[in-house]
Structure 1
Amino acid sequence: MPIVFKALRPAAPPSAPAYDAAVNAARDPAFYRGGAVPDTMDGRFAMLATVVALVVLRLEADGDEGRAPSVALTEAFITDMDVQMREQGFDATLSKQVRSLVGSLASRVDRWRTLLATSGDWDEAVRASVYRNDMVADAALAATTEKLRQLVQSLAALPLDRVVAGTWAGIGAGIGAGVGA
């Protein structure tokens, strides 16, 4: 391809190592076993979107410094959802489907932002964000709620550069190997 045409192509979105860490955290088998998150495409999406929303809020907590990494994380999420939808054969309705998934992420960010700002009801937020208001056993809800609380607390304790670099993967009891991992 001639150089002039390469210059007209949009630049690749910035990579977001924090997104890889979010994917790994959302894949923790403990969420699906003890937390009874459905191990389905919808259940895995709900878990991923919830973790990404919490990481977005952590990045935003650093104000201007966290803005660009937050955008990069969101772009990585959108790119991944686009790829996943194409692999599932949604080409004909792709833009509508991806917009819907991005809207789901945005509503989770708003829900969690409100909860964290007001010290609201964690169980209610987890039920809506992860279980989509479906009935879930109290023990499973409590397990997922506790893991997400630990994630939020652990992310809050880390400096921005660690969050951006994705070196927080595995933090929180039951989510992995610990903060020093």
Structure 2
Amino acid sequence: MLNRLISYLSGKQNETAAVMLYRQIVAQARQPAFYGRHGVPDSLDGRFDMIVLHSFLVMRRLRRSGTEAAKELSQQLFDLQFADMDNSLREIGVGDLGVSKRVKVMAQAFFGRVEAYEAGLNAEDDHVLAEALTRNLYGTSQPPAAGLAAVATYMRMTDQRLAQQPDDSILAGNVDFLPPPA
């Protein structure tokens, strides 16, 4: 699925970096510990939300860079993510008319989560972030208290780790995520 998206890209340096970043985001979002140990629902929604969470963290880091190259890379990453979502919906059998509606809902969900996670990370304590994670990442399931706390701490620490990574590295498509919380 991802390889088809790669072929649609024209080969510009930032587009290659976007593919590299997206692969790392998806790999991190698929870490079994998030689903098993920390109670994130192992469902289409839960997996979507883990990708959104990690995409948000990378895009937040790119935005902090303030450069035009970072802004372009962030947009390419967003476009690639939603092209992947479109392809995934088609692969599971959603019809052409349903795909555009669902992708629109997913994009709206993405922007809502970005706003909620931004507020949560900007808050002084984890209460706002925990509420955002409960509402979005855990959805209709009841998050285990330890899992929720671990994911909130993971988000804060990963945000700090990404902030310490050099712009050149991230613009080249390399991020260094923390391992999932133990």
Task: Provide the TM-score with structure 1 as the length reference.
Answer: 0.81
What's the secondary structure of 1:61's corresponding residue? Answer: helix
> Among residues 83, 91, 99, which one is paired with 1:94 in the alignment?
99
What CA RMSD, in Å, does the superposition of the two structures yield over aligned residues? 2.3
Note the C-alpha offset of 1:133: 5.9
Between 1:11-20 and 1:103-112, the stretch displaced more is 11-20
- Which structure has the highest helix share of the two? 2
Q: 1:95 to 1:64 in 2, by over 3 A?
A: same
Q: 1:19 to 1:119 in 2, by over 3 A?
A: farther
Q: Which residue of 2 aligns with 1:104?
A: 109
1:174 matched to 2:180: yes
Decide whether the 8 Å contact of 1:86 with 1:94 is kept in 2.
yes
Amino acid of the residue matched to residue 128 of structure 1?
R
Q: Which residue of 1 aligns with 2:38?
A: 35
Decide whether the 8 Å contact of 2:120 with 2:129 is kept in 1.
yes
Q: Which residue of 2 aligns with 1:68?
A: 72
Please give the residue correspondences for 1:129-168 in structure 2 after superposition, counting only pairs within 5 Å.
Answer: 129-132=136-139, 134-168=141-175
Decide whether the 8 Å contact of 2:116 with 2:129 is kept in 1.
no
Task: Provide the TM-score with structure 2 as the length reference.
Answer: 0.81
Larger Rg: 1
Tell me the matched-pair count: 166
Between 1:17-26 and 1:129-138, the stretch displaced more is 129-138
> Among residues 42, 51, 63, which one is paired with 2:54 in the alignment?
51
Regions of 4+ moved over 4 Å? 10-13
Q: 1:39 to 1:59 in 2, by over 3 A?
A: same
Decide whether the 8 Å contact of 1:85 with 1:94 is kept in 2.
yes
Q: Which residue of 2 aligns with 1:179?
A: none
Structure 1 distance, partners of 2:34, 2:120, is 21
- Percent identity of paired positions between Structure 1 and Structure 2: 32
Partner deviation per Cα, 1:151-171 (whole Å, 9 max, x = no partner): 2111111112222334224x2
Note the C-alpha offset of 1:39: 1.0
Partner deviation per Cα, 1:94-151 (whole Å, 9 max, x = no partner): 1111111111111111112223334353212221231126421111112222222222
